[in-house]
């Protein structure tokens, strides 16, 4: 396994750097393609969220891989390499696996234990599969990360350690009051219709807001979200929620009516400038609460200084979450992560020897076929039944002789330091390296075909 991850997150970089390094959604596919075109990289996947950007790759050279991935992150983001370098972290092989599994469990989230990261990991895998840049290693890694994250949430109380960023942000806006008491009957404006915005809209409806407007660049997506919330059986159907979809051009008018605003778009510039918010406040005495979950930010930081407004953004959430209590179950999750990392490493090491074992059995089958053909020449009078019995007997002998060594070598190879067993097997049986490589290439083609089918 030659897994490498290079990235930065809220733990390693200030929000100002994260904002400049943020990837636009349309840039991710190009980043993945450029990564697999680089000499040391054979697979790639990118995990890009509001508070992290990480590039995962299967590389054949560590130092060249680090240099290449770092340069790619800088090239495709809005920050230069010199600016990014002090904040980048690097994990390799088992440490990289441990990092992703910890991320999947919510241990590395801004709000410990939040579960939304699982959806973001699933999206990262889907994009890599669509771009055909995820092979056996990254498919196995990300799928296992999803299973580990689900296991952590089902077997422990990690959910008690924190909430989603949406819930945590609304709690900060409520300033100690119960969110439902604070939000009940208010007018809310949600800007964006992606996964985070949809979660925000659903959370606000459950909290009892009286009216909801959803603004999005593509109005059809906003209409779809409103339909889901208000259709029979939807979150807002029972409360008689008044909800509507609006165009982004209507945001200034909606802002003047709103009591709560949540914004999370993929825009690269400000969505709500300070002047727009100030104009919306003109003549109003009711307070305006704004939650900015976008990276880079959607709402001008100058809004903090506008009287009658309360702005919570990623930066203030990071400060608030630093003092959040840790649940006792966090230790249990760390134990799960450690166990799963060991199991994943063993499985990968065992898989590494499989092409050699297949090549050995192929060679044995060729030897059997050659000897049976020679027997036909020496004993041409054998009937079909006799020939079949002899053939079956020889195959059974070979299979029994190979069974114990091949099972045992897989077990040994799965242990730490077991990578050399494949080399030993090839040397002992004088296996053709080209045959082993051909098996590996066939496996890789099958993996890529499976990835295309899943995509």
The SS3 of residue 344 is helix
Active site residues: 50
* Phi, psi (deg, nearest 5) at residue 89: -115, 155
3-9 sheet: strands from edge to edge: 41-49, 52-59, 3-9, 89-92
CB 233 within 8 A of CB 260: no
Cβ neighbours around 33 below 10 Å, total = 13
User: How many Å apart are CA 261 and CA 255, to the nearest integer?
Assistant: 8
**Mutual angle of helices 314-321 and 165-174, in 10-degree steps:** 90
Cβ neighbours around 89 below 10 Å, total = 14
Query: What residues contact 161, with CB distance under 8 A and at least 6 apart?
Result: 106, 112, 113, 324, 325, 326, 327, 329, 330
How distant, in Å, are the alpha carbons of 173, 187, 284 from that of 278?
19, 18, 10
Q: Which of 84, 88, 87, 124 is nearest to 103 (CA)?
A: 124
Q: Which of 312, 269, 303 is nearest to 78 (CA)?
A: 269
User: How many Å apart are CA 94 and CA 328, to the nearest integer?
Assistant: 25
């Amino acid at each position: 396994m030659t897994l490498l991850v290079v990235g930065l997150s809220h733990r390693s970089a200030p929000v100002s750097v994260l904002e400049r390094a943020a990837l636009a959604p349309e840039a991710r596919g190009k980043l993945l393609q450029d990564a697999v075109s680089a000499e040391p990289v054979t697979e790639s996947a990118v995990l890009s969220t509001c508070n992290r950007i990480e590039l995962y790759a299967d590389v054949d050279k560590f130092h060249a891989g680090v240099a290449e991935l770092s340069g790619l992150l800088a090239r495709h983001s809005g920050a230069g390499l010199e600016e990014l370098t002090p904040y980048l972290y690097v994990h390799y092989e088992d440490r990289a696996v441990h990092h992703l599994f910890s991320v999947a469990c919510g241990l590395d989230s801004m709000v410990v234990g939040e579960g939304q990261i699982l959806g973001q990991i699933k999206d990262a895998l889907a994009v890599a599969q669509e771009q055909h840049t995820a092979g056996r290693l990254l498919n196995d890694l990300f799928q296992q990360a999803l299973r580990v994250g689900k296991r952590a949430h089902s077997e422990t109380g990690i959910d008690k350690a924190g909430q989603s960023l949406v819930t945590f942000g609304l709690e900060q806006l409520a300033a100690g009051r119960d969110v439902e008491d604070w939000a009940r009957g208010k007018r809310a404006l949600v800007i964006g219709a992606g996964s985070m915005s949809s979660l925000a809209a659903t959370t606000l409806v459950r909290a009892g807001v009286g009216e909801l407007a959803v603004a999005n660049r593509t109005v059809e997506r906003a209409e779809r979200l409103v339909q889901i919330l208000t259709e029979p059986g939807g979150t807002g159907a029972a409360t008689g929620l008044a909800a509507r979809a609006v165009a982004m051009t209507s945001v200034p008018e909606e802002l003047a009516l709103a009591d709560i605003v949540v914004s999370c778009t993929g825009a690269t510039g400000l969505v709500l400038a300070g002047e727009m918010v100030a104009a919306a406040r003109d003549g109003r005495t009711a307070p305006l609460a704004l939650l900015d979950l976008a990276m880079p930010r959607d709402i001008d930081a100058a809004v903090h200084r506008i009287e009658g407004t309360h702005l919570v953004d990623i930066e203030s959430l990071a400060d608030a979450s630093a003092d959040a209590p840790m649940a006792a179950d966090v230790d249990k999750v760390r134990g799960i992560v450690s166990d799963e990392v060991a199991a994943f490493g063993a499985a990968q090491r065992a898989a590494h020897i499989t092409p050699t074992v297949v090549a050995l059995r192929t060679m044995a089958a060729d030897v059997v076929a050659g000897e049976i053909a020679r027997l036909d020449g020496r004993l041409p009078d054998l009937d079909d039944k006799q020939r079949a019995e002899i053939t079956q007997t020889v195959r059974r002998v070979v299979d029994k002789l190979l069974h114990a060594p091949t099972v045992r070598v897989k077990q040994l190879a799965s242990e730490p330091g077991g990578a050399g067993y494949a080399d030993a097997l090839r040397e002992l049986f004088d296996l053709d390296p080209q045959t082993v490589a051909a098996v590996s290439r066939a496996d890789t083609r099958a993996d890529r075909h499976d990835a295309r089918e899943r995509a």
